[in-house]
Amino acid sequence: MADASRQPNPVVELTVARFREFIREPGAVFWAFGFPVILALALGLAFRERGRTLPRVGLEPQAPAWLVQGLSAIDGEGSTEALIDLVADGEVETARALRIGAVDLVVRAAQGDSRALVYEYDPTREASAAARVIVDDALQRALGRSDLLPSSEVHLTAPGARYIDFLFPGIIGMSLMSSTLWGVGYSIVLARKRKQLKRLAATPMRRWHFILATFLSRVLFLVVEVALLLLFGWLVFDIVIRGSVPAFALVSLLGTASFGAIGLMIAARVSSVEAANGWLNLATFPMWMLSGVFFSYERFPEVTHFAIRLLPLTALNDGLRAIVNEGAGLVDVASQIVVLAVWAVVGFAIAASRFRWQ
């Protein structure tokens, strides 16, 4: 008789099996590890530090000489202190240029009063509104206005204050959410459809063995995934963790646990792949939109902020950003840790009570 103490641990065996199953799928490996890196690179290049972008200002050919002279003084081609990129001399019809976004602002003299100005622009476009302020200020100064208060500028371009510093933790959070939710939820539903779970039900293994092994296999992926992203961010964008590394690891682990719990809740009873796709999209899409991956959720109405902060991806992104960019520690991200822990504990409890093999 074999020694009972040497019998394989079902959790360990299932964890190893899940990991091997994953790495044998090149497509799954790419979407888990390759795609987040490519996305971060593409967005980082799109929003990389570049020279100052000048607002494009359209000027009609029949503009009066004083207006042409005033704008030429701040044009990128005619001044060492350029403030605008002047589009004049009929390069493009101004009304159409404004409509298609070729220029940010059109300046013309008012009919009947050659010393009065008309600014044509879309006030909902930030570049257009900024161009209007710049041009009006420059022309008013040219006519003799002087500033009563001296001023200076401080340009924030150091690591920690760039857009890529805001974006990168969000990319990590989004990557963990997508890979964990789909890696857990979709794979379990697919295994149920293939009758693989039915075979496991005939073994002495318990449900919590399977659930725990599924989570532990995702933790292994988490270590590789986050390590690759952090290495990429350091090499390409000079992004480093300014705060507590243990806090970063704990927040990432709890984020993975919370998304794994949601995936298990969805997969607990769903037997159709099509239904799983729908439920997983329903779970992920609102968080993509609301949780501040690409832009701050502060843009949404203030009355919604409390509810948005209760979403697991919001808590994960806020915690990672505080640690990476602000040097936060465990105490500083306590509220985010609580939110993620509640999602994980409640989600796993519900999934364990509702899970079925068939």
Strand-pairing partners, residue 118, are 108
Would the pLDDT of 318 be above 90? yes
Mean local confidence (pLDDT), 29-46: 70
Strand-pairing partners, residue 87, are 58
Q: Dump the DSSP string for 145-178.
A: ---SS--------STTSSHHHHHHHHHHHHHHHH
Strand-pairing partners, residue 105, are 57
Alpha helix stretches (DSSP H) within the chain: 10-23, 26-29, 35-46, 65-72, 94-100, 126-142, 163-181, 187-193, 196-201, 207-237, 245-267, 273-290, 305-309, 312-326, 334-354
Would the pLDDT of 138 be above 70? yes
Would the pLDDT of 77 be above 60? no
Quote the CA–CA distance of 233 and 109 in Å, as a whole number.
Answer: 50
Mean local confidence (pLDDT), 311-325: 93
Would the pLDDT of 254 be above 50? yes
User: Are 278 and 219 found together in one domain?
Assistant: yes
pLDDT band at 1 (very low <50, low <70, confident <90, very high): very low
Whole-number pLDDT of residue 218: 76
Q: What does the block give as tokens for 339? A: 């939110």
User: Are 117 and 177 found together in one domain?
Assistant: no
Q: Is residue 153 in a domain?
A: no
> Is there a contact between 243 and 326 (Cβ–Cβ < 8 Å)?
yes
Would the pLDDT of 354 be above 70? yes
The structural domain count of the chain equals 2
Q: What mean pLDDT, rounded, does the chain reach?
A: 77
Q: Is residue 81 in a domain?
A: yes
Q: Is residue 332 in a domain?
A: yes
pLDDT band at 5 (very low <50, low <70, confident <90, very high): low
Q: Are strands 105-110 and 85-87 parallel, antiparallel or unpaired?
A: unpaired
Please indicate whether residue 356 or residue 257 has the higher confidence score (pLDDT): 257
Whole-number pLDDT of residue 50: 56
Q: Is residue 9 in a domain?
A: no
pLDDT band at 150 (very low <50, low <70, confident <90, very high): low
Most confidently modeled of 285-289, 329-333, 335-339, 346-350? 335-339
Structural domain harbouring 123: 56-142
User: Are 77 and 106 found together in one domain?
Assistant: yes
**What is the rounded (10 degree) CA torsion for 289, 292, 296, 297?**
60
User: Are 135 and 169 found together in one domain?
Assistant: no
Would the pLDDT of 197 be above 80? no
Query: Of the residues 111, 142, 173, which one is the last residue of a structural domain?
Result: 142
Quote the CA–CA distance of 208 and 318 in Å, as a whole number.
Answer: 31
Q: What does the block give as tokens for 157? A: 């371009």
Q: Dump the DSSP string for 246-299.
A: HHHHHHHHHHHHHHHHHHHHHHTT---HHHHHHHHHHHHHHHHHHTTSSS-GGG
Whole-number pLDDT of residue 252: 93
Whole-number pLDDT of residue 153: 53
Q: What does the block give as tokens for 154? A: 């401080």
Most confidently modeled of 112-126, 156-170, 238-252, 273-287? 238-252
Q: Which of 138, 117, 120, 116 is nearest to 129 (CA)?
A: 120
% of the chain beyond a pLDDT of 90: 15
Q: Is residue 149 in a domain?
A: no
Would the pLDDT of 221 be above 70? yes
% of the chain beyond a pLDDT of 70: 72
> Is there a contact between 110 and 61 (Cβ–Cβ < 8 Å)?
no
Mean local confidence (pLDDT), 80-91: 64
Q: Which amino acid is at 48?
A: R
Q: Is residue 216 in a domain?
A: yes
For the chain, the maximum distance between any two Cα atoms, rounded to a whole number of angstroms, is 107
**Domain harbouring 61, CATH code:** 3.40.190.10
Query: Of the residues 142, 169, 192, which one is the last residue of a structural domain?
Result: 142
Q: Is residue 129 in a domain?
A: yes
